[in-house]
C-alpha cells in the first residue's frame, strides 16, 4: 500500500503525496507578499508539477496569484464555489478552465484520491478593498490516508463530523503580532480542533513564515512559538493524537495501517 507524505513549505503551503497523486495547498512560493516578508525557511522547492492545487479561499496569503503562476505544469485548480470567475479574470481563461469549484459536501477525484470540500469558519472575500467573494472551505483528501487541510478557520459546530482522520494540517497562528479570534485558530483552539476531529497525527501550519516588514523584533513569541504551544496543548486535550512540529521544508511520512 502507498505511503502518504506531507512536506510543509511554510504558512499554508503543503505538498501532499498520496496514492501516486500529488497535491499542493494554498501556495505562497515567493519571499515577499505585499507588506509581508518570508522570515523563516528556504524558498519552497517543489519536486515537480502537482496534479492539483487546493485553494481554500481568496485571501492573498492563500490565493497568491504570482505563486500560482509559478507552479509548474497545468494542474487542476480546486477552488471554493464562486472562485472560478475570479481565477479566470486574474490568471486568464486557460487557468479558469482548469478550475473545479466545490462547496462543502461536494468532491472530485484526482488520480488516486478523492478531494472533498468541508466547511470552514472564515471570511471568504478577497479583502475589504475588493468586491470579489467566494466561500471559504477546507478539504479532506481521501486516499491511503484521510487528511484534513483546514485552510483558515475558527472552531465550528459539526467539526467532529470530519473525523476520524489519519492526519490533520491545523492552522495555529498568523502573519502578524495580533490574531483575531473570528475565523482563526490559535494554538489552544487548534488543539481543541484536533480533539474534535480525532486525527492520529497532526502537523501545525499557518505560523512562523510571514511577518510584516520592519517588525522582525516585535512579539517574536507570536511568530516562533505557536507550533510548540499547539503540541503542548494537544498533549493535554487530545492525548491520543501525535503531533509533529515540522521545520520549513521538512516532511512527515505516514505508513499505511496494517
Cell of 208: 512562523
pLDDT score recorded for residue 1: 55
pLDDT score recorded for residue 34: 84
- On whether the CB atoms of residues 79 and 55 are closer than 8 A, the answer is yes
| Average of per-residue pLDDT across 78-90 | 95
Q: How far is CA 249 from CA 8, 13, 141, in A?
A: 5, 10, 21
Cβ contacts of 153 within 8 Å, gap of 6 or more: 119, 120, 121, 122, 136, 138, 171, 183, 184, 185, 193
Strand arrangement, sheet containing 146-149: 107-110, 113-119, 137-142, 146-149, 165-171, 199-205, 242-243
pLDDT score recorded for residue 119: 96
Higher pLDDT, 36 or 253: 253
Q: Nearest-5° angle of CA 204, CA 205, CA 208? A: 110
Positive or negative CA dihedral for 200, 19, 49, 53? negative
Task: Fill in the DSSP letter of residue 10.
Answer: S
Q: Which of 72-86, 157-171, 176-190 has the lowest mean pLDDT?
A: 176-190
Average pLDDT, the chain: 91
Distance from chain centroid for Cα 110: 18
pLDDT score recorded for residue 130: 67
- 234 sits in which H/E element: helix 226-237
| Average of per-residue pLDDT across 52-72 | 94
- On whether the CB atoms of residues 213 and 35 are closer than 8 A, the answer is yes
Per-residue pLDDT at 257 exceeds 70: no
Positive or negative CA dihedral for 204, 179, 10, 150? positive
Q: Which of 46-50, 85-89, 172-176 has the lowest mean pLDDT?
A: 172-176
Q: Which of 31-40, 196-205, 236-245 has the lowest mean pLDDT?
A: 31-40
- On whether the CB atoms of residues 170 and 25 are closer than 8 A, the answer is no
Residue 220 pLDDT level (bands cut at 50, 70, 90): confident
> CA-to-CA distance for 248 and 228, rounded, in angstroms?
14
Q: How far is CA 119 from CA 34, 83, 86, 105, 150, in A?
A: 28, 16, 21, 8, 9
* pLDDT > 70: percent of the chain: 91
pTM check: above 0.85: yes
Number of Cβ within 10 Å of residue 201's Cβ equals 20
pLDDT score recorded for residue 132: 77
Residue 124 pLDDT level (bands cut at 50, 70, 90): confident
Give per-residue burial for 55-91: e unless 16+ CB within 10 Å, then b.
Answer: bbbbbbbbbbeebbeebeeebbbbbbeebbebbbebb
pLDDT score recorded for residue 180: 55
Amino acid at each position: 500500500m502507498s505511503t502518504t507524505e506531507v512536506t510543509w513549505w511554510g504558512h499554508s503551503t503543503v505538498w501532499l503525496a498520496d496514492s501516486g497523486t500529488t497535491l499542493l495547498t494554498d501556495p505562497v512560493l515567493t519571499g515577499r507578499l505585499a507588506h509581508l516578508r518570508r522570515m523563516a525557511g528556504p524558498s519552497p522547492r517543489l519536486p515537480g508539477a502537482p496534479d492539483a492545487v487546493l485553494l481554500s479561499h481568496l485571501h492573498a496569503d492563500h490565493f497568491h496569484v504570482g505563486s500560482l503562476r509559478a507552479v509548474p505544469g497545468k494542474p487542476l485548480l480546486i477552488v471554493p464555489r464562486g472562485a472560478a470567475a475570479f481565477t479566470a479574470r486574474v490568471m486568464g481563461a486557460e487557468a479558469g478552465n482548469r478550475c473545479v469549484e466545490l462547496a462543502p459536501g461536494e468532491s472530485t477525484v484526482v488520480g488516486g484520491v478523492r478531494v472533498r470540500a468541508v466547511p470552514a469558519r472564515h471570511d471568504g472575500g478577497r479583502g475589504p478593498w475588493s468586491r470579489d467573494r467566494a466561500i471559504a472551505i477546507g478539504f479532506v483528501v481521501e486516499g491511503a490516508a484521510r487528511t484534513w487541510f483546514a485552510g483558515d478557520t475558527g472552531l465550528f459546530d459539526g467539526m467532529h463530523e470530519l473525523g476520524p482522520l489519519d492526519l490533520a494540517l491545523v492552522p495555529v497562528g498568523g502573519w502578524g503580532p495580533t490574531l483575531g479570534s473570528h475565523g482563526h485558530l490559535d494554538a489552544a483552539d487548534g488543539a481543541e480542533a484536533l480533539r474534535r476531529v480525532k486525527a492520529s497525527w497532526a502537523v501545525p501550519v499557518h505560523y512562523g513564515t510571514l511577518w510584516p516588514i520592519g517588525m522582525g523584533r516585535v512579539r517574536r513569541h507570536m511568530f516562533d512559538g505557536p507550533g510548540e504551544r499547539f503540541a503542548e496543548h494537544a498533549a493535554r486535550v487530545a492525548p491520543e493524537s501525535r503531533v509533529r512540529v515540522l521545520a520549513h521544508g521538512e516532511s512527515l511520512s505516514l505508513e499505511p495501517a496494517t
